[in-house]
Amino acid sequence: MDAMTGWWDDYFWASITVAEVFVCSLFFMVIFGLLGASAKLSSNAVARSLANTYTVFFRGTPEILVVLLMYFGSAVTLTAIAQLFDSSIRFVDIPPFWAGTIAIALVVGSYATETFRGAFSGVNPGSIEAARALGMSNTQTLFYVRIPEMWRLALPPFGNHMLSLIKDTALISIIGLNEMLFVAKQATSTTGKPFTMYIVVGVIYLGFSTIITLATMLLERFANRHVRRAP
Amino acid sequence: MNNTNDPIIRLIEVSKRYGKFEALKEIDLDVRKGERIVVCGPSGSGKSTLIRCINRMEEHTSGQIIINGHELTDKTKDIDAVRSEIGMVFQSFNLFPHMTILKNLTIAQRLVRKTPKAEARDTAMHYLGRVKIPEQANKYPIQLSGGQQQRVAIARALCMKPQIMLFDEPTSALDPEMISEVLDVMVDLASDGMTMLCVTHEMGFARSVADRVIFMDHGQLIEQAEPETFFNHPQHERTALFLRQILRH
Ligand SMILES: Nc1ncnc2c1ncn2[C@@H]1O[C@H](COP(=O)(O)OP(=O)(O)O)[C@@H](O)[C@H]1O
Ligand SMILES: [Mg+2]
């Protein structure tokens, strides 16, 4: 562990980056998942086929490729647009942080789409009718009845989606984000101790996943509070 | 705008089709304010469809439905406003499982009526008292018995101060010993002058409370009469047969 001297603060900042990517991608993953599920359940055929294309593509493509395509695809597009205005511009990209965050959110969001779709179908139609009969609008019914009831059913698989997200943050090193694998690689080339450098990464990731697993358990207990009978 | 003698619910030749199947066939029905009507008939005769068309949970395919002077059409801009004037009680209670009893009673007041929090709470507690379970306010629906849940469902509808209450077999899903506690609440409501349309096979309730009993069969309104006439001198053979079947027990 002597080899670690001088590297701890790099690992610390890298794990902060990982946490940031996780939180941002979690936010977008939920949005993509809810949009995808709404589209799949909608009566609009165009929306349904768009959502199907989305899930087929992102569930059927290696995630590392999605990260690369997102980064280079957006860079090529942005560069082309920028050159329309100023032909001396050579290269424009979106920050690897955002390209990577959106990429993994899209991938995991495609799985979340299926989770949310199933969970929405599991909501008691009687609850929805009751809300409508009380005069609540479609939107109010969605946010106050359907999503809260769906949530309980979606939580167990959703915990797995969060674990996927945290692990996928490791992929973003490939487009140059200064996260833990990136640091480990640099540290290895300076110290020549790859095992030490990578096992530290492993332990930190394990810490993150443990936190997520515990958080999911607590959320499940909270979401099921009304399912338990009187004490 | 509308005369007090005008019916609060008016159905003119209302039909409803599901695909090719005719669930309602040219129903004509007027309900005056404060009237208490019991609807009965065999399973599948269109009773639920009839009352679900009245608050537009189902859209009728032809004819006119006029509630309080407002016709229900595709263009009815604020169907949510119309619905909030019509309380509905379902066979399977349909309380919101993730909300406490109190929240079940305040949520629509807050969202639809924009009632201030304290006032919504007071209204909720008032109606919970009326259905005799104020002590259950902070429980979740699953912690209550079926009869208690159905009384909460009635209170939830009443919190919107509706002008009309629709009941769709409110006691059919209940254990026998819980039926009377729900019927008591409905009788209380009827004596209060509420306009009520109840689908039920509780003939004791129909006899003592209804101003009119309606018999439906195969999507048609076969017969309607005061309870006395309805039970003792049914005009149609189908009505007589139905009454013999349900009163035999
Ligand atoms: N959503 C629906 N789609 C197709 N048929 C339906 C639908 N709802 C009801 N029906 C049919 O309409 C008829 C009347 O149903 P309903 O009004 O529920 O009868 P009741 O309440 O008198 O038992 C039944 O034959 C039923 O199968
Ligand atoms: Mg029915």
Ligand closest to CA B168 = 2
B157 to chain A: closest CA residue: A134
What residues have CB less than 8 Å from A36, skipping those under 6 apart?
A: A51, A54, A55, A109, A110, A112, A113, A116, A117
Q: Provide, as residue numbers in chain A, all residues whose Cβ is less than 8 Å from the Cβ of B87.
A: 133
pLDDT in tens, B21-44: 999 999 999 999 999 999 999 999
pLDDT of residue A142: 94
pLDDT in tens, B51-84: 999 999 999 999 999 998 889 988 777 888 889 8
Is a pLDDT exceeding 60 seen at residue B1?
A: no
The position carrying tokens 């039909």 is: B15
Is a pLDDT exceeding 50 seen at residue B169?
A: yes
Q: Which of B19, B76, B24 is nearest to B50 (CA)?
A: B24
Which residue type, as a one-letter code, is found at position B64?
Q
Of all protein residues, whose CA lies closest to atom 24 belonging to ligand 1? B44
**Triad A181, A182, A184: Cα angle to 5°:** 60
ipTM above 0.90, yes or no: yes
CA distance B119 to B138: 17
The position carrying tokens 């609540």 is: A136
What's phi and psi for B220, nearest 5 deg? Answer: -110, 150
Helix segments in chain B, DSSP class H = 47-54, 79-84, 101-108, 117-130, 146-158, 176-191, 203-209, 227-232, 237-247
Taking residues B99-109, what's their average pLDDT?
A: 97
**Triad A228, A129, B51: Cα angle to 5°:** 130
- DSSP letters, A140-198, are HHIIIIIHHHHHHHHHHHHHHHHHHHHHHGGGGGGGT--SHHHHHHHHHHHH--HHHHH
pLDDT of residue A231: 44
Segments of chain A with pLDDT less than 50 = 230-231
Do B167 and B200 form a contact (C-beta atoms < 8 A)?
Answer: yes
Do B196 and B165 form a contact (C-beta atoms < 8 A)?
Answer: yes
CATH tag for A21-178 (out of 1.10.3720.10, 3.40.50.300, 3.30.750.200, 3.40.1080.10): 1.10.3720.10
Q: Provide, as residue numbers in chain A, all residues whose Cβ is less than 8 Å from the Cβ of B97.
A: 124, 127, 149, 226-227
Tell me the whole-structure pTM to 2 decimals.
Answer: 0.86
What residues have CB less than 8 Å from A86, skipping those under 6 apart?
A: none
pLDDT > 90 fraction of chain B, expressed in percent and rounded: 90
The alpha carbon of B49 and the centre of ligand 2 are apart by a number of angstroms equal to: 7
What residues have CB less than 8 Å from B128, skipping those under 6 apart?
A: B101, B102, B105, B134, B136, B137, B152, B155
Is a pLDDT exceeding 60 seen at residue B3?
A: no
pLDDT in tens, B121-161: 999 999 999 999 999 999 999 999 999 999 999 999 999 99
Q: Give me the count of residues in chain A.
A: 231
- Region at B132 (left for phi over 0; alpha for psi -120 to 50; beta for the rest): left
The alpha carbon of A126 and the centre of ligand 1 are apart by a number of angstroms equal to: 16
The full set of domain ranges for chain A reads 21-178
Q: Which of B214, B161, B168, B213 is nearest to B189 (CA)?
A: B161
Pocket flag, ligand 1, residue B44 (CB < 6 Å): yes
Residue A1: is it exposed, middle or buried by C-beta count within 10 angstroms (0-12/13-18/19+)? Answer: exposed
The alpha carbon of B44 and the centre of ligand 1 are apart by a number of angstroms equal to: 6
Pocket flag, ligand 1, residue B234 (CB < 6 Å): no
Sheet holding B86-89, edge to edge: B86-89, B164-168, B195-199, B36-40, B212-217, B220-225
Q: Quick one: tokens of B49?
A: 């469809």
Which ligand 1 atom lies nearest to the CA of residue B21?
A: 5
What's the start-to-end Cα distance of chain B, in Å?
48
Q: Give me the count of residues in chain B.
A: 249
CA distance B174 to B167: 14
